[in-house]
Structure formats: structure tokens, C-alpha cells
Structure 1
Amino acid sequence: MAICTFAVMELQFYKYQGTGNDFVLIDNRQHTFSKNDTKLVARLCDRKFGIGADGLILLEEHPAVDFKMVYYNADGNQSSMCGNGGRCIVHFAEYLGMISKNTTFEAIDGLHEAKIERGCVHLKMNDVTNIQTEEDFAYLDTGSPHHVQLVENLADFNVFVNGRNIRNNRYGKAGANVNFVEKLEENTFAVRTYERGVEDETLSCGTGVTAVALAMFETGKATSNKVILQQPGGELQIHFNKIEKGYGDIYLIGPATQVFNGIITV
């Protein structure tokens, strides 16, 4: 039996990062990429045998809005909303000439509006109507499920071990992302996140910092509707309004950068 196989397709890809949360983006408007090939997605995201990324995103046509976002975790499975990925795909759509400075697109959790302003992508997240607060943590869904927990000495905290334990033992097979938080100033917090699907700490998580900002305001740890979140990969801002049932006009604000692009044989 032959031990060598030969590539059957060349695939154009674009590598993006948003505050260190990195993604492989593919223009799939012609449906050349198989959406059911989870092994290929996982291989492309592999940092030793592929391009390397926290996730893979397909940009596809949409009949009513500018485009559709299809997001996969690094394990190859389609997943819930990714905030940093959403900011990156907006930048990608502008790069492709599909949009100017404003856009509306569809993701797995519904429609999102976004704008590009002074080098930052302002991504509108869906309203959050329910925050479960317990004595030592909060739980809420900001497009993806998030556990938010205050800790001391975050820089030395073992995010991998503690995050994996909470993700699996508290939330079972479906899991949840786990955010560990330390207050730095009045409305500034440090955040480190263990992400399900990646099954490791990532340098940044957009839906995660959104969850942190809302949880900190809900529990009185933040006093402003503009919260700064500092992560290992950089700084993001969350702006929001308190509404009758929860929070609305929620914007995730930060940079998105194309790192490189190329062709890989698959």
C-alpha cells in the first residue's frame, strides 16, 4: 500500500487575527469548500499540519443582506457566534470590495450590523435578556455561552486547568466558555478565557469580553456602560445600554487585521 497521497485541490485562504484570536477565512461564494468536511477544517486549523488558527470562517452569499458568516471551531465542528471572528469577516468583506464602511450580515445567531471606523470594527451583538448570577460566578449567552468568574492574581492563575474543569464538569458535553476576570480600575478589567472547541486558553474572545462587561455591570463591579477589557492579545471595548429586559445596543469594538494570505494544497 502506498504511503504517499497527492493533493487534489488548491485552496485560497486568508489569515486574520483580532486581538490575537486568529482565524482562517475563505471566500466561499462559489461553494468550492465543502461545509461538511470537518476533518479538513480541523487540519487547516492545526498549527503543525495546517495553517494554524483558533477557528475557520466561510464567507458566503446571502439573498437579503451583504453576506453570511459560517464559523467552525478548531476541532472542525460548526459552532456558536464568534465575536472576534465577526469583526474579522467584516474587514474581509471590505477587503473583497463587498462592503464600504457599514454592513449587515447573518451569523448563526441571527443578523448583525457593523461599521468600520478609524481602523476599528464596531460589531453589534444581539440583545442579552438573561444573566444568571450566583455567589461566585455569572452565566449568560452573548451568542455563545459564557461562565464569568472573578479571581485574584489573574496573571498567575492556571486558566487551562481551572477552565477545562469548569467547562466539562459544570456544563457537561455541550460545555461553555470560561472567563476569569480581575478588576484593574473602575471600568477596566483583565480577562483570560478558556474556549470550548479550541479546548485551550485563547489570546482573546469577543463574545467572552462582551459577557464579562455585562456581568460586571449587572453585579455592580462596573459603573459605566463603556467597559474596557484587557486580554493577553490586546484591548477591546464594550458599549451597551440597559434596557427594560436586559441589555441592548451592545457593541464589541476593536481591531481586525489580515496577517497574510496564500494557497494551500488539500
Structure 2
Amino acid sequence: MTTLSTSLTGMRFGKGHGTGNDFVLVADPQGERELTPEQVARLCDRRRGLGADGLIRAVKSRHIPEGTALLEENPDAAWFMDYYNGDGTISEMCGNGVRVFVHFLVTQGLVELGAGEELVIGTRAGVKVVARTAAGYRVDMGPWAFIHPEQAPSGSDALVEASGIDVARPALSITMGNPHTVVALADLDELAHINLTVAPTVTPEPPYGTNVEFAVPADPLVMDDVGHISMRVHERGVGETLSCGTGACAAAAATRFWAGSAAPDIWAVAVPGGVVGVRFFVGPSGREHVELSGPAVMVAEGVLADELSA
């Protein structure tokens, strides 16, 4: 039986980002470390810690209960992405984080993955298949769905209030394994004037909270068979981030739904930290899946000191 340690002193870490969405990453293959919410929040603190939107622990799936359950049906999912928001709360999934997670495994020599090759990993939102590309990584994020399918035909299932917007706006809630509420705005000026230092209010709010995306369609919306939108996001448990991968998928899904049957399957989503690609396709089960593509960058490595990890 493995004895868990709550001390992270001396543990090696990496720091990486995907289009500005940044993460602290630690390797704990045997599941010997127990991360507390307080430790995660301390490490992610931008003034007193390393600074990050979230923390990812790389652990072998067989050493974490959620991973063990996935292995029964997906024995190739050897690694599990144990993801935490910057405030220490556990989250189901992070689209930018999963790319950085795999890049961390590669740069640490924990896996070998050449261009065009795929790696199966476990997450709390199920198994994800990640492929390495010349420009980064692409991820089959799995199926998307409406959180309130009975209200989706109307195009709205919630109202969102945000600082900098004069009236509450209609919104559409979408799950990518984690919850998102997407608001369409009229133009880039309106997008720029939202104050996301204050959390938006969503009515009704999903049971475990929601990430809120504010999206502006380009004019024209479609260029060379690719849809284009710009987006800002307030992530639950974090605040505004420079990018959100699952949020980009949700924003593209909502905009595509609003645009109607002629809308394209390929989208470019501009976020403050760069541009990510989103593609819709029919998965093996016959359900529509979403693929997210974009860069992953490691920027630093180090060893946790007593003061940070205690």
C-alpha cells in the first residue's frame, strides 16, 4: 500500500502554457503525493507562488481511483491528467492544459511521441486522444452537448450579467465534459469593455458553476470555409484567462448552432493569448466530436522550496 506524502518539498516542477493559459506541472507517476487545495492555491498564486491558471499532476492511471475506472474500458490510457483550478478546486478537464500536459510528459522523457503519433490519456471528463503535430498538438475532446437540450432550440437557456454590459444578455450553455455558458456580443469594442475582474452572474447557474465565454463573430463570419470568432473567458475558480481550450470549443459550438445548417465545421478562435483551431467531426460512436488544436510551450523547470510547498 502506497503511503501518501503531503510535503512537496524537493519535488521537481515544470511551467508551461497553451496560448497564454498557463500551468504548473508536477510528475508523480506512482501517486505518492497528496495535493491539498491550499498547496495548489499557494503554488498558483501569482505574487507568492509560481503563478498559474491551474496545476496538473501527472500520475499513472492505475494509482488514482478515477484513472483505475477508465482503465477497465480503455487500457491504453496509462497516464492521468489530475487537474486543479488555480484556487485549488478540482476540475474535470482543460483543453489547453491537456496539450501542455502531454508536452510535459514528452519533454520529461516520460513518454515518446513523434509527429503524427497519438497518445491516449485519462481525465475526469473521460479518455482523450492527443496527436502531436508540426505546430503543437490536436486533441479529440469527445462529444459536445447542450446542458439544457430542451431549451436549446430557442438559442438561449440563461441570462448573463457582467460588469461593463448595461443589460443582461441571453446565453447558451454547453458541456465539453465541463460546463460553459456562451454569450454572443455585437462587436469587438463591446468585448474589450467587459470587466472580467468581476465574475459574471449566470441565471440559472449550472449546479457546479460554469465558465463564461463572450464571443464576437467576425464580419464576414466565414472566410475560405473557416468560421472566425474572437473570445474572452471568465473561468470558474480562476478568473479571466488568456485562453480556454474547452471554452473555445464551446464558443465555436454555440456560434455554429446560432449560424444555422450552412455553418462550417472548421473554426479559428482568437483569444487574448493567440489562436486555437476547432473542428467538428463525427466520432466512432456516431456522435459529433470536437477537435482542438494549438501550441504547447514549456518555459521553466525547477525544484519546489520549503516555503512554497509546505
1:100-115 residue pairs with structure 2 within 5 A? Answer: 100=113, 101-115=117-131
Cα 1:141–1:60 change in 2 (3 A) is same
1:142 corresponds to: 176
TM-score by length of 2: 0.76
In the aligned structure 2, how far is the partner of 1:128 from the partner of 1:79?
A: 17
1:201-256 residue CA offsets vs partner (Å, 9 max, x unmatched): 1100000000011111111167110011000000001011268x995231100000
**Where does structure 1 lack aligned partners over 5 or more consecutive residues?**
1-6
Q: Which amino acid aligns with 2:88?
A: G
Pick from 208, 211, 214 the counterpart of residue 247 of structure 2.
208
Provide the secondary structure at the position in 2 that maps to 1:16: strand
Q: Which amino acid aligns with 2:105?
A: A
The answer on whether the counterparts of 1:18 and 1:88 sit within 8 Å (CA) in structure 2 is yes
In the aligned structure 1, how far is the partner of 2:56 from the partner of 2:108?
A: 15
Cα 1:175–1:129 change in 2 (3 A) is closer
In the aligned structure 2, how far is the partner of 1:70 from the partner of 1:56?
A: 8
Pick from 257, 265, 271 the counterpart of residue 225 of structure 1.
265
Cα 1:8–1:59 change in 2 (3 A) is closer
1:27-46 residue pairs with structure 2 within 5 A? Answer: 27-35=27-35, 37-46=36-45
Q: Which amino acid aligns with 1:33?
A: R
Check if 1:179 corresponds to 2:184: no
In the aligned structure 1, how far is the partner of 2:143 from the partner of 2:39?
A: 34
Compare 245-254 and 48-57 and name the one that shifted more.
245-254
Q: Which amino acid aligns with 2:118?
A: N
Cα 1:91–1:23 change in 2 (3 A) is same
Displacement of 1:157 in angstroms is: 2.5
2:138 corresponds to: 122
Identity %: 31
1:23-54 residue CA offsets vs partner (Å, 9 max, x unmatched): 0000011334313x111111000011110000
Displacement of 1:174 in angstroms is: 2.4
Provide the secondary structure at the position in 2 that maps to 1:240: strand
In the aligned structure 2, how far is the partner of 1:115 from the partner of 1:181?
A: 27
In the aligned structure 1, how far is the partner of 2:53 from the partner of 2:194?
A: 20
1:99 corresponds to: 112
2:199 corresponds to: 164
Displacement of 1:160 in angstroms is: 1.2
